[in-house]
Structure formats: structure tokens, C-alpha cells
Amino acid sequence: MGLLPKNQPKKTIDTPRNFFIWGQTMHGKSYLASQFPNPVVFNTDGNADQIETPSVNLKNERDPNTGKIKFSVIDQLNELIKELETTDHGFETVVIDVIDDVVTLIEQAICEEHGVQYIGDIPYGKGFGIFKSIFTALVVKLKALPMNVIYISRYATVTENNIEKPVPSLSVKHLNVVNGNCDMNILCQKIGKNYIRRVIDRRKAYQREWIQDKRILAILDTVIGAFDKPTQTSKEEAQKIVESLEKAEEQAIKAEATEQKDVQEAQEVKQAPKPRTAAPRPPRVK
């Protein structure tokens, strides 16, 4: 049997299923996620027993006798995803609340396994490679699930041209992995007594009539910009955007190269043999 598809247009899936939701504490992120159909929450703040939504506490479980990790969050997530794939659980949405803490927990597990305090202390930058492999595989496995997937992140700010700009607290390199596998990026804000939800980015210009799941449609109708038509960009504006992106990419590459160089130099200093000091010569007797 051949692997190639038929040479004809196929029907696309136009209902968004993967979402990145972020904002300040108490600004409606978790509430928005809880509105999705039949959710299960993978929680990182230890309060799974205090919320009504079915939930699991994500953690690095430690041996009470030794204090060492006996069941890491990496193993826990793999087991949870396997259950979602193979059992008749009835859940339709999985919520990662919050993805920032999952990053920390994975790094913690990797560091302990290799006996270091910081992931960069693993020789030759291998720690960063191990993390990237595990984190990317996690996101890909979640996306492959036949259900909605929601990543929740906290809020931070950056200053550009003396203007403070809100950004997700998830670091850019991790955000790129998550966002690259999401259909919508939604910012939740509380302004006065009003809770505002607005789309920051989306995979395509979704239209209301495309959405097959009426429950998802009802949620997206409360989100500003979910169905707005895209605006046309002039060639001059596009050129400026491309130049800005290229400059930012060049700076990111330089920063990563510097980080890797610093890590390698620090490792080489640790491994270099210490110079032997000559014993003091006894004074000459006249």
C-alpha cells in the first residue's frame, strides 16, 4: 500500500483545538479553560483538591526516606498521556496549568538525574539538548491527542522603545515550541470589573461558519479578535517587519552562542588540572 495521499483537495479541520492562554493572576485564565468541554486539569500549584474540575497534581514525587526523586514529572506526564490515549475516560479537554512550572519541574528532574544544580552544568551543553528533546516530545504528544489542549502561562512585561509591553512569562524558546503547536494565543485581562479576552495570534483567519463544535464556537464568541478578518499588509510594511524579525533572530542566535560558549568555558575550567605549586626551598645555612 502506498503512503502518498490522493492527488486531490481534501477537507480541512477548521475547528481550533490547541490554545495558549496567558495573563496576570486572577484575570480569568483558569476560568476560561474550565469552560471548554469536559476538562481535566494537570495542575502545578498543588491545589488540585481545592478545585471542582477533575485534576491531577503534577510534581516530582520524592522518596520520603532518601529525599530523591522516585517518580519524575516526565514519567508522570508520559503515563497521563498514555491513559488519555488508551482508556475510555470521557475527557475532551486537557489543561496544563501552568506550563511555566512544567518547564521548571522537567529541568529539576534532569538536574537531579545528572547530579548538578543547574542544567547548564551538564557537560558540553547536553542538558539543554536533553530538555529540548523531552519538552518538544511532550508538546507533540499532547497535540496528537484527539481532544482540546490548553496551555496556561503567567504574565510578564518587556520594555521596547520606553514602552512597557505585556508578554507571556514563558521564555521565548519554550514559547516558540508551544505556540508552534497551537491554533490560538489568547490574552486574559481584568480591566476594572470587566474580564477581557482577546486573540494575540492565530493559525488562520477562522470564520464562524467553519467551527463544527458549537461548544467551542460559544467560547470563541466571547474572545475579541477570534473571527476578525486579517488586514492587508503593504510591501513596504512587510519589508520593515521582515527586517525587524531578521534582526531579532540574529540577536537571539548570538545570545544562544554566547550562552553555549560560557557554559563550555566554565566546564573546561572545572575540568582543567590545577597547577602544582613547588614546595618552598629551605633557607641556606651560611
Q: What is the pLDDT of residue 279?
A: 62
Q: Do 37 and 148 form a contact (C-beta atoms < 8 A)?
A: yes
Residue type, 179: N
pTM value > 0.85? no
**Long-range contacts of 226-234, Cβ-Cβ distance < 8 Å, separation of 24 or more:** 226/184, 226/199, 226/202, 228/199, 229/205, 230/205
Which cell numbers hold the place of 274?
Answer: 590545577
Q: What is the pLDDT of residue 189?
A: 94
Question: Which runs of E-coded beta strand occur in the chain?
Answer: 18-23, 39-43, 55-57, 61-62, 69-71, 93-97, 148-153, 155-160, 163-168, 184-191, 194-202
Q: Do 155 and 166 form a contact (C-beta atoms < 8 A)?
A: yes
* Number of C-beta neighbours around residue 23 at 10 A: 24
Q: What is the pLDDT of residue 271?
A: 66
Q: What is the pLDDT of residue 281?
A: 67
Q: What residues of the chain score a pLDDT lower than 50?
A: none
Q: What is the pLDDT of residue 100?
A: 96
Domains for the chain: give ranges and CATH numbers.
18-229 (3.40.50.300)
Spatial distance between the Cα atoms of 237 and 161, rounded to a whole number of angstroms: 19
Spatial distance between the Cα atoms of 101 and 230, rounded to a whole number of angstroms: 34
